Structure formats: C-alpha cells, structure tokens
Amino acid sequence: MAEQGIQVEVAYARRDAQALLSVTGDPGMTVREAIDRSGVLMRFPEIDLAINKVGIFGKLAKLDQPLVSGDRVEIYRPLIADPTAQRQKRAAAGKAMRKGGGEEAAD
C-alpha cells in the first residue's frame, strides 16, 4: 500500500495583508519544506526565517519538525512592543489617575 501525500496550510498575516496557503507534500514534509512550497516567502519578502519564529497551531516549532496532514504552519511577525512593558505603563498611568491626576495634582 503506497503512502498518500499530506495536506497542510501555511499562514502569515500583517496589518494590510494575510495569506492562508494550502500545500501538498510527501509524508515527513518539514515546516521549512511547507513554507518553501507555499510561495509565501516570495509573496512577503520581509519574512526572514532566521528572525521570524514559526509554529504549528499556535505552538512554537522548529523548521525541521515533520508535519502531519491537517497541520497549520504559522509564521509570526516580531512584536512591535513588549507586552509586559505596555502593561506596566498602563498600570502606572492608572495609579497616577487615582492619585488625583498626576503632575497637575502636585501643585
């Protein structure tokens, strides 16, 4: 009995454009092979797999990880702002407001 091919999706999104591309390959196809076959690197030249992290259904994965049929490979963009720093900034602003409006209240 011959092994059948597998089908996966490759997803990438930025603010102004998104792509969800279907890819068919042989069993044992890796994350890197799926990305290469999808054509997403030509469509979005800003993707650098040395910098951009990848995952399968929201869990980080390595480029040499084999895929199974139905997997969704996701290419993640670098974060614009550190979420922890942003939460701390909002919390500090909230404390200033509760104390009477920050610097204006100091007079």
Residue 101 confidence (pLDDT)? 54
Q: What is the DSSP code string of 40-102? A: HHHH-TT--TTTS-EEETTEEE-TT-B--TT-EEEEPPPPSS-HHHHHHHHHHHHHHHHTTSG
Q: At the fourth CATH level, which superfamily is domain 6-76?
A: RnfH-like (3.10.20.280)
Alpha-carbon distance of 55 to 50, in angstroms, equals 14
pLDDT of the residue at 93: 78
Closest of 43, 46, 35, 105 to residue 71, by C-alpha = 35
Q: Where are the domains of the chain?
A: 6-76, 80-107
Q: Rounded to the nearest 5°, which phi and psi values hold at 31?
A: -55, -45
The pTM assigned to this predicted structure is: 0.72
Mean pLDDT by 10 residues, the chain (107 residues): 81 93 96 97 94 95 97 89 76 70 51
